[in-house]
Each structure stands twice: as structure tokens, then as C-alpha cells.
Structure 1
Amino acid sequence: MTVGDGGTLLDIDHVHVFVADCDAARQWYTRILGLAPVPELEFWAREGGPLALSNPARTVTLALFEQAESTHCATVALRVSGADFLAWQRGLVAEPDLAVRRADHAVSWSLYFADPDGNRFEITTYDHAAVAEAVDDN
């Protein structure tokens, strides 16, 4: 028996992300990842709590916690289709001052980058063959 035997985990509700400036981070996450504040949760940020940002479907939610210095080190991996991976690659590499690293993991492809506060992100796809055909390593 495990603690989790009491019920089934449904999904990841949100990921805590620590940032130096919540307003600047909100703008970055909106511009780069297309995430927007969750209207019904904005009161938390007004009361000194986290700012919840999500995609329109509410399948990806980040809780931004403003903290001057952070020693937290984690990577948030976001799964996409092969076609969307290629679109993300085009968009991310076009961003000035955003260092993007692409990796071929034999069964998946990943794009790695970080936000201005050093929080690491990964865009990943398991549509390996489709991306391998389209990738130009020259």
C-alpha cells in the first residue's frame, strides 16, 4: 500500500516558478509561452500570493512566486506534437537574447531555454521521426 492508494492522481495542477519581478515575468511568459493570468485566481497575487498563469485550455499552469533570490533548480517540460515542436523551434530561435539548445534524445527531441530568472524550460516531442525528417543540422 502507498499513500496514493486513496485515489488516482488526475494531472499536474500547477508548477511553482520563482521570479525576481512578477510583472516582468508575466510579460515574458505571455510573450514567449502564450500564458495569461487566470482571472479567478488573480486575487492571490493581489494579496501577496502567487500569480497563476495558464494556457487557454488550463492544461498548463504556472504559479509565479516573487522572490528576490532563488536557489530552486528545476526544469518544466512541456510536451507538444512534432509539427508544433518545429513551430516552437522557429519561434524560440527568433527571440533575441534567448539561448535555445536543441537535443536529439533518440526517441524524442527537446528544446531547452531559460526565463530571465534562470528557470529552465523544455519543449519536447516524442514524434521523433517526423522532426528528424524536418531538422536541418547544416
Structure 2
Amino acid sequence: MSQPKVNEEVTPRIRRTHLSLFVKDPFASAPWYEDVLGMQVTARGARWVFLSFGKKHHDIALIQVEDPENATRGTINLQHYGLEIEGDMDELRRLYGMLLRKKIPVVKTTDHKVGYGLYFEDPDGHRFEFFLETVHDDEEGKRLLGQYHAPSDAFDIEPL
């Protein structure tokens, strides 16, 4: 593989991502991530907890804010973190039922034309999405998102 020449434009090639969230109490929030998202705690520090979906050392880090008693969410913030699920519509329906049984705030259910989304919030108000992809060809997905202007249409789903 050739190396870029000096001053040649370089773009990152991302292998994977992880997410770090400020929370009021990472030790109180971590059990929610274990229970609702099926994550495992992999490390703890004085003011943080690392969690994994099981393959990597961490996928989400929960970090205590400087002043937890006075912490508030601002209008400029993370909009949501999408988690693509394995399975089919019945799996999305099962996850919807699980969220409702656990009294997790469900924000909305949407049809994105390339898949279906189920949006919910963690104890600190961070929004997550369980996403069921239905269009698996990336070029077709890009075409559909462009054609429909990246839709987020209301979608009714019955929980299982």
C-alpha cells in the first residue's frame, strides 16, 4: 500500500467508533446500560465507567460531570446515538416491548425509508435509537435518503 505524499490530502479511514457521555452519576447509570442495552462493565475509575457490547474493551464511556448537582442538558447536544440491531421487525417489536416494560421513555418510532428506528432515552436524557436496517445496499440507501430527504416519518409499531 502506498503512503500519502507530503502535503497530499489525507482523510481518516474509521475502523470503529465509541461514545463518551457526561452523566450525573456513572455508577448509578451503568446498571441501566447493562440492563437495557445488554452491555458489560469493563473498567471503572474514580469518576467514570467503561462499558462494552462484548467485543471491544469499551463502546460507551460514562463520565461524571464536574458539578452533578447543577448539571443541565443544553439545547446544543448529542441528538441521538444509533444502534443497528440484528434480526427482523419482530426483534424491533420485542425491543419496543422491553423498553415499555422497563418504563424507558420512548421518544418516537420512525420510518427512514432505509430502515425503522425506535428512539428512547437513558436516565440522563441521552437519546438512543434501535435501528432495523431494511436496505442493505449502501448505494441504494444513499439514493433513497437523497430522494426522500433523509426522512423520519412517523411509524406505528406494535410491541411484543
**Residue 35 in structure 1 maps to residue 33 in structure 2:** no
Counterpart residue number, 2:97: 90
Give every structure 1 segment of 4 or more consecutive aligned residues whose post-TM-superposition deviation is greater than 6 Å: none
* Whole-angstrom distance in 2 between the partners of 1:62 and 1:18: 11
Which whole-Å deviations, capped at 9, do the CAs of 1:19-39 have from their partners, x for residues lacking one?
Answer: 11111101111111111211x
Structure 1 residues 19, 117: CA separation in 2 closer, same or farther (over 3 Å shift)? same
**TM-score scaled by length of structure 2:** 0.65
**Identity over the aligned pairs, expressed in percent?**
26
Counterpart residue number, 1:115: 122
Counterpart residue number, 1:132: none
Structure 1 residues 26, 33: CA separation in 2 closer, same or farther (over 3 Å shift)? same
Counterpart residue number, 2:14: 9
When you count helix as a share of all residues, which structure comes out higher? 1
Structure 1 residues 79, 19: CA separation in 2 closer, same or farther (over 3 Å shift)? same
* Whole-angstrom distance in 2 between the partners of 1:106 and 1:11: 25
Which whole-Å deviations, capped at 9, do the CAs of 1:88-115 have from their partners, x for residues lacking one?
Answer: 222112222x221211222210010111
Structure 1 residues 20, 108: CA separation in 2 closer, same or farther (over 3 Å shift)? same
Counterpart residue number, 1:22: 26
Alignment of 1:67-86 (within 5 A): 67=65, 68=68, 69=71, 70-71=73-74, 73-74=77-78, 75-83=80-88, 84-86=91-93
* Whole-angstrom distance in 1 between the partners of 2:57 and 2:113: 27
* CA RMSD after TM alignment: 2.4
Structure 1 residues 59, 104: CA separation in 2 closer, same or farther (over 3 Å shift)? farther
Contact 1:18 1:65 (C-alpha < 8 Å) held by counterparts: yes
Stretches of structure 1 lacking an aligned partner (at least 5 in a row)? 129-134
Structure 1 residues 111, 60: CA separation in 2 closer, same or farther (over 3 Å shift)? farther
Counting matched residue pairs gives: 121
**TM-score scaled by length of structure 1:** 0.74
Bigger Rg over Cα: 2
Contact 1:102 1:110 (C-alpha < 8 Å) held by counterparts: yes
Structure 1 residues 88, 53: CA separation in 2 closer, same or farther (over 3 Å shift)? same
* Whole-angstrom distance in 2 between the partners of 1:59 and 1:94: 30
Stretches of structure 2 lacking an aligned partner (at least 5 in a row)? 1-7, 136-156
* Whole-angstrom distance in 1 between the partners of 2:105 and 2:53: 23
* Whole-angstrom distance in 2 between the partners of 1:32 and 1:111: 13
